[in-house]
Amino acid sequence: MAVEPLSQKEIEDRLSELPGWSLDGDRLTRVYRLDSHFAAASLAVHVARIQDELDHHSELTLGYNTVSLAVNTHSAGGSVTDLDVELARRVEAAAPAHGAR
Ligand SMILES: C[C@H](O)[C@H](O)[C@H]1CNC2=NC(N)=NC(=O)C2=N1
Handedness of CA 83, 14, 50, 74 (dihedral sign): positive
| ipTM for the predicted complex | 0.86
Q: Has residue 10 been placed in a domain?
A: no
Q: Has residue 8 been placed in a domain?
A: no
| Per-residue model confidence as pLDDT tens digits over 14-46 | 999 999 999 999 999 999 999 999 999 999 999
Q: Is the CB of 27 under 6 A from ligand 1?
A: no
Q: Has residue 7 been placed in a domain?
A: no
Q: What's the whole-model pTM score?
A: 0.95
| Per-residue model confidence as pLDDT tens digits over 49-95 | 999 999 999 999 999 999 999 999 999 999 999 999 999 999 999 99
CB 15 within 8 A of CB 48: no
Q: Is the CB of 71 under 6 A from ligand 1?
A: yes
Domain holding 86: CATH number? 3.30.1360.20
**97 phi and psi angles, rounded to 5 deg:** -65, -20
Provide the domain count of the chain. Answer: 1
Q: Is the CB of 88 under 6 A from ligand 1?
A: no
Q: Has residue 1 been placed in a domain?
A: no
Q: Has residue 12 been placed in a domain?
A: no
Amino acid at 84: D
Q: Has residue 5 been placed in a domain?
A: no
Helix, strand, or coil here: 28?
Answer: strand
